[in-house]
Each structure stands twice: as structure tokens, then as C-alpha cells.
């Protein structure tokens, strides 16, 4: 469920947007503002997932309001709805989620809402998994829930990743950067092909001129990872 803010000084536009939002499954609260100042006050006091903002408004325009909103809540998604094309570059600079010109394209508004609802659900699930120290992996057609404490390291092998746990290996098509975002602070990218669980390291030994080899507490000696000389200093102190 998401919370939506609609901000426009044109009452007709507010009514149209409110009706479109109400027709979408997955919306919990709808907040209304008629200028940028009111919108910012709502963001200060309410949890809002997406704001539909006009730009040319009294007291505070939508661009300034959007900057303040993002400062208050960096996760908020901004969708500008305006009659003016020349604000497009400014909206790009703010990293707006979308930029919709009036007259309003109803289907595009609905698509935005549905997409944000789906993304919000995924984000909340990822956050919940991380808080509970869990990583979900899809291997072929099956999903596995892995306790992060049991992961020794993750290795990139050609077009797949291998998740090395204490007692088995999992194979996934996720990218290394993508899986890194899902891990907790115990993990470190030690090499272009490795992410390592620092808690499970047993010892580190030199390996050639530019790398070190990492051995793990509960693993066979041949089951190891690499860390570059450039990254080894992150483990010191």
C-alpha cells in the first residue's frame, strides 16, 4: 500500500488526479495540497511514497517543492504534471520519476501509480529480508531463503553467480552489484568477482603480486576467495 500526494492549484486537475488514484488498488492515503508550501508541510508530517506535482504554482513552485521533498524524504518519487515543456530539463536534474504534460494522459498516470505500487511492495520485501538477515535466491525455478550468516562468499563465474554457503552452493543469474545491494554490512566487495562475508574469514594470505587469498572458518581450503591489494586496507584497523 502506498500514500499519494497531489499538489496543484487547479481544482479540476486535483479532482481528475484524485479520481485516477482512487481507482488504483494499493493506495492507502491521498493527501491534497494547492501550492508547494502546503506540499512540503505534508511531507514533513506524513509518510508519502509518490507526489504528483504541478510546477507553476503560487507561494512555492513545484521544482523548489520537489527539491525540499527529496531532502526530507530521499525515497519519495516525484511525478511532474504541467502544461509547460520547458521545465523538462529541470525535472531531469531533480531526477523526477516522470514528466507528464497537460492535458493529462490518464493511462500514463495509472501506469505510474501501478508501477510505483509494485516497486514499493518489492522494496518493502527487500527491506524486511535484510532486517531479518535473509537473502532470497532464485535457482532455476526454485526460490531459496538463505541466512546471510551462513554465506562465506559470492563469486562471479561467467554469466552467473555462485553463492558459497557453509554447507552448499547456490547458482543465480543476479548481477554482482544487484546482489550486493541486498546484503547487510557484514559483506565487502573484495574483488571485481567476489563479495565476502567478513564475519566468516579465518585468515588471509598473499597470492601473487596483486592479490591475497581469503580462507574461511567453515570451508575446505580450496573453497576460497580473493581480495586485491587495493582493498586489503579496508580490513585493517
- The pTM of the full predicted model, rounded to 2 decimals, is 0.56
- Mean pLDDT value of segment 46-58: 90
Q: Quick check: bond before 2 cis, omega within 30? A: no
Residue 148: is its pLDDT beyond 90? yes
Percentages of the chain per state (helix, strand, coil), in multiples of 5: 35, 35, 30
H helices of the chain, in order, are 11-22, 36-45, 62-72, 88-94, 106-131, 176-180, 229-232
Q: What is the mean pLDDT of residues 105-109?
A: 89
- Highest-scoring range by mean pLDDT, 83-87, 187-191, 218-222: 187-191
With CA atoms as reference, report the closest residue to 75 among 127, 6, 11.
127
Per-residue model confidence (pLDDT) at position 123: 67
Residue 62: pLDDT band with limits 50, 70, 90: confident
Q: Could you tell me what percent of the chain has a pLDDT over 70?
A: 96
Which domains are present in the chain? 2-130 (3.40.50.2300), 134-235 (2.40.50.1020)
Amino acid at each position: 500500500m502506498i500514500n499519494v500526494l497531489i499538489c496543484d492549484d487547479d481544482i479540476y486537475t486535483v479532482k481528475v488526479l484524485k479520481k485516477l488514484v482512487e481507482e488504483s488498488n494499493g493506495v492507502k492515503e491521498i493527501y491534497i495540497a494547492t501550492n508547494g508550501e502546503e506540499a512540503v508541510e505534508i511531507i514533513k508530517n506524513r509518510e508519502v511514497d509518490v507526489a504528483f506535482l504541478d510546477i507553476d504554482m503560487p507561494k512555492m513552485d513545484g521544482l523548489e517543492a520537489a527539491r525540499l521533498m527529496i531532502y526530507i524524504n530521499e525515497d519519495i518519487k516525484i511525478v511532474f504534471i504541467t502544461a509547460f515543456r520547458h521545465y523538462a530539463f529541470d525535472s531531469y536534474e531533480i531526477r523526477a520519476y516522470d514528466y507528464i504534460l497537460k492535458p493529462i494522459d490518464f493511462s500514463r498516470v495509472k501506469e505510474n501509480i501501478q508501477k510505483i505500487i509494485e516497486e514499493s511492495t518489492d522494496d518493502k520485501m527487500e527491506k524486511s529480508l535484510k532486517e531479518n538477515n535473509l537473502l532470497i535466491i532464485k535457482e532455476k525455478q526454485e526460490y531459496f531463503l538463505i541466512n546471510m550468516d551462513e554465506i562465506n562468499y559470492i563469486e562471479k563465474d561467467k554469466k552467473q553467480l555462485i553463492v558459497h554457503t557453509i554447507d552448499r552452493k547456490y547458482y543465480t543469474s543476479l548481477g554482482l552489484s544487484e546482489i550486493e545491494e541486498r546484503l547487510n554490512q557484514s559483506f565487502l566487495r573484495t574483488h571485481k568477482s567476489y563479495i565476502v562475508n567478513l564475519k566468516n574469514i579465518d585468515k588471509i594470505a598473499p597470492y601473487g603480486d596483486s592479490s591475497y587469498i581469503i580462507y574461511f572458518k567453515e570451508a575446505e581450503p580450496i573453497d576460497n576467495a580473493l581480495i586485491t591489494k587495493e582493498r586489503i586496507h579496508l580490513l585493517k584497523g
